[in-house]
Amino acid sequence: MSKGTYSFTTPIYYVNAAPHLGTAYTTIAADTVARYQRMNGYDVAFVTGMDEHGQKVADTAAGKGMTPQDWCDSMEPAFRDAWDMLGITYTDFVRTTEPRHAKSVQKFWQDLYDKGWCYKGSYEGWYCVHEETYYAESDLEKNEDGVFVCPDCKRPVQKAGGEENWFFKLSEFQDKLLAFYEENPDFIRPETRKNEIVSFVKSGLKDLSISRSTFDWGVPLPFDEGHVAYVWADALLAYLTGIGYGDEGERAGEFDRRWPMQYHFVGKDITRFHCVIWPAMLMAAGLPITHTVFGHGFLLTKGEKMSKSKGNALKPADLCRVFGVDAYRYYFMSDVQFGADGSISLERMVQVYNADLANTWGNLCSRVFNMTKKYFDSQVPEVPAEVLAKENPLHAISNELYKEYDAALGAADFTRAAAAVQKLASRVNLYVEESAPWNLAKSEETAAELAEVIYNALEAIRIVALYMAPLMPNTSAEVFRRLSLGDIAAVTDIEAATAWGRLPAGNHVEIGDPLFPRLNMDAVDLSME
């Protein structure tokens, strides 16, 4: 029986560049949650997609001699292929050029127009095409040539003046938003992001231009078809589209079951849109607000944010070719604290791979499976029920693991979740050393103790594989196969599945190739420059 719904999103990614390590980071985090909450008994919705409208997209397409739609269509395989390679189990991939999404946008803004939240006026200020953001002159910086540039991306901005636009009365939500933040302390995480947003809102909110009339690449506003929706007034609504908003067909009723969502996982550079504009839009519509917006940090190489323009935005395939998909996923979830900026390097990736995966997890499986073959003809030994019930160091850690792991992933603390699992894996290695099964095998008098030790080690491996599955789904599936345990993805009650003593005696145990062969840094041919 399902525990209920558990729904969340990544950003709807811009189509101007193929997925890189930063976009993959966000998406793997969301997928880790998706996989775990399915195993935890929830009906999961995981929404991602492509943001295809706006001036930036239109300009990029024109520069390539393509129509905007053709350019967007050409980029879809890059995203879908990357997510397939990384094992991303999204439930809906929303393209903002889809008719169903246009329907969502028009339904939503017609509702806000009817409620009196929109008006027509003219805008005076500056616009950054790259950031898709309007700025007051006081917000801008000047470059060395004295040209006004965007405070975020440092690119030159365009003067926006005299154009008649539709506006959303964002300014009327300043006090409402501050009260909401106070009443819902988990809405913005981590705390550093919350402090930034609160400070921004307290400085004063201006009404938001929600339309453009100087180009037509966007969703026409239903109450004025001479205007298309501003990209953020469009893309944010993909979160609703992805769970059936306005659908009166086969998905009728889904939105009511799933909204509000548990999480939006976003980069810290777009938290302002998700924590100011988005909740104000939802308040105006009379809709509940997502429980948490988690604005994670940037990935840094040599102290700089990764970006295509700096030439340091590696493709996920580059690292997967060296480390494999599961090790790639594990590194970014275990070694990079999700809420903070994370400095990554090839050297550190090799260190984590060898220490956590080759030396601990892979070596554990190899040595215990080999001993099972040597001492028990590759079969899980049978031990009496009273022995299974006995306390032992592995059993004790296992008993506490669900609570710790569940709390960690519920809070999107992937590093803590991985550390909790590694605690058990490391203890199994120590347990084997302490128990010395190679000595127990020398005497018939210690045969029962030998069976107990090998069973306990195999049972702990089974439990580690279950908790590793959201992080490393392929490896965990392979461990389950070698233990003759069936499809790990079919688990829908991980708390029950990880109860001690559920490994059946007599199951065949296959040794197989090493799960994680050690890597020699000198032999790794990949540059992070």
**pLDDT the model gives residue 154:** 83
**Percentages helix, strand, coil for the chain, rounded to the nearest 5?**
50, 15, 35
The gap between the terminal CA atoms of the chain, to the nearest Å, is: 50
Q: Strand (E) positions, 179-289?
A: 188-189, 208-209, 211-212, 220-221, 224-229, 263-267
pLDDT tens profile 331-342: 999 999 999 999
CATH superfamily for 5-296 is HUPs (3.40.50.620)
Among 197, 231, 306, residue whose Cα is nearest residue 52 = 231
Element (DSSP H or E) covering residue 341:
none
Span 113-130, mean pLDDT?
A: 86
Q: What are phi and psi of 433, to 5 degrees?
A: -65, -45
**pLDDT the model gives residue 388:** 84
Statement: residue 512 has pLDDT above 70: yes
Span 99-123, mean pLDDT?
A: 96
- For tokens 């019930």, what's the residue? 389
Span 123-130, mean pLDDT?
A: 74
**pLDDT the model gives residue 280:** 98
Q: Cα 122–123–129 angle (5° rounding)?
A: 135
In a 13 Å sphere around the CA of 398, the CA atoms on its Cβ side amount to: 28
In this prediction, residue 162 has a pLDDT band, given cuts at 50, 70 and 90, of low
pTM across the whole model: 0.93
Q: Strand (E) positions, 83-117?
A: 92-95
In this prediction, residue 515 has a pLDDT band, given cuts at 50, 70 and 90, of very high
β pairing state of 92-95 and 148-149: unpaired
In a 13 Å sphere around the CA of 392, the CA atoms on its Cβ side amount to: 26
pLDDT tens profile 399-455: 999 999 999 999 999 999 999 999 999 999 999 999 999 999 999 999 999 999 999
Give me the helices (H) in 115-253, please: 174-183, 191-202, 231-235, 238-241
Partners of 263 in beta bridges = 8, 292
> 3-class SS at 11?
coil
Distances in whole angstroms, Cα of residue 423 to Cα of each of 192, 406, 411, 426, 467: 29, 15, 19, 5, 12
Q: Which has the higher per-residue pLDDT, 326 or 147?
A: 326
Q: Which has the higher per-residue pLDDT, 11 or 388?
A: 11
Q: How far apart are CA 455 and CA 388, in angstroms?
A: 9
Q: How far apart are CA 180 and CA 261, in angstroms?
A: 16
CB 296 within 8 A of CB 269: no
In this prediction, residue 304 has a pLDDT band, given cuts at 50, 70 and 90, of low
Q: CATH classification of 344-497, choosing from 1.10.533.10, 1.10.730.10, 2.60.120.260, 1.20.120.330?
A: 1.10.730.10
Q: Strand (E) positions, 109-177?
A: 118-128, 133-135, 141-142, 148-149, 158-168
Statement: residue 148 has pLDDT above 80: yes
Partners of 300 in beta bridges = 305, 343
**pLDDT the model gives residue 144:** 81
Distances in whole angstroms, Cα of residue 506 to Cα of each of 73, 124, 345, 384, 391: 53, 76, 44, 13, 22
Distances in whole angstroms, Cα of residue 245 to Cα of each of 105, 232, 257, 271: 10, 18, 11, 23
Q: How far apart are CA 389 and CA 455, in angstroms?
A: 12
In this prediction, residue 529 has a pLDDT band, given cuts at 50, 70 and 90, of very low
Q: Which has the higher per-residue pLDDT, 341 or 308?
A: 341
> How would you class 114 by CB atoms within 10 Å of its CB: exposed for 0-12, middle for 13-18, buried for 19 or more?
exposed
Compute the mean pLDDT over every residue in the chain, rounded to the nearest whole number.
93
Span 494-505, mean pLDDT?
A: 97
pLDDT tens profile 398-407: 999 999 999 9
Among 427, 446, 424, 426, residue whose Cα is nearest residue 375 = 446
> 3-class SS at 121?
strand
Domain edges within the chain: 5-296, 344-497
How long is the chain? 529
